[in-house]
Amino acid sequence: MTTQAGMIKSADCLFCKIVRGEIPSKKVYDDKNTIAFLDINPATPGHVLVVPKKHAEDITKAGEEELSDTIVVVKKISELLMEKMNAIGVNVVQNNGKHAGQLVSHLHFHVIPRYPNDNVIITYQRAHLSESDLEEIRKKLSQQEKKDMDFDF
């Protein structure tokens, strides 16, 4: 079920159901604000999803406190994967919005351990922008920060 704004309600959210224990999961971490469990279709063995317990559709909707707690758990899980799974690297992937590949509308971080010769491909084509194009974008993005950024270098 969705609300008028098209948002999935917490009662119907897959990851909220996992948080409440209504759907089973392979949990690897659980504290007051955050859980982490194995992705059911892992990119590599040990692929973990780190999820704030409080429902937020994506990173733009999440409270700063929940987000801070979540990212600290992402760090812990990354360390665990290196130590216990002998990962030689870790990709942290986080999708927001269906156009960015988000399938489950409850904020989550993928922590994907990397191994020699694994088949993971995380890539995008890189454009070359002119200095003036870059500057135009920089100005657009730094509008609200203008006062804070008036440093004398």
| Residue 13, contacted partner among Zn ion, ligand AMP, none, CB below 5-8 A by kind | Zn ion
Is residue 55 flagged as an active site residue? no
Residue 13 interacts with Zn ion (CB under 5 A): yes or no = yes
Residues 39-58 that bind Zn ion (CB under 5 A): 55
Closer residue to ligand AMP in complex, CB, 23/134: 23
| Residue 106, contacted partner among ligand AMP, Zn ion, none, CB below 5-8 A by kind | Zn ion
Q: How far apart are CA 8 and CA 6, in angstroms?
A: 7
Q: How far apart are CA 74 and CA 48, in angstroms?
A: 9
Residue 58 interacts with ligand AMP (CB under 6 A): yes or no = no
Q: CB 120: neighbour CB atoms within 10 A?
A: 15
Residue 41 interacts with ligand AMP (CB under 6 A): yes or no = yes
By CB atoms closer than 10 A (0-12, 13-18, 19+), residue 105 is buried
Residue 39 interacts with ligand AMP (CB under 6 A): yes or no = yes
Q: Which of 55, 106, 108, 110 is catalytic?
A: 108
Virtual torsion, Cα 38, 107, 15, 1, nearest 10 deg: -150
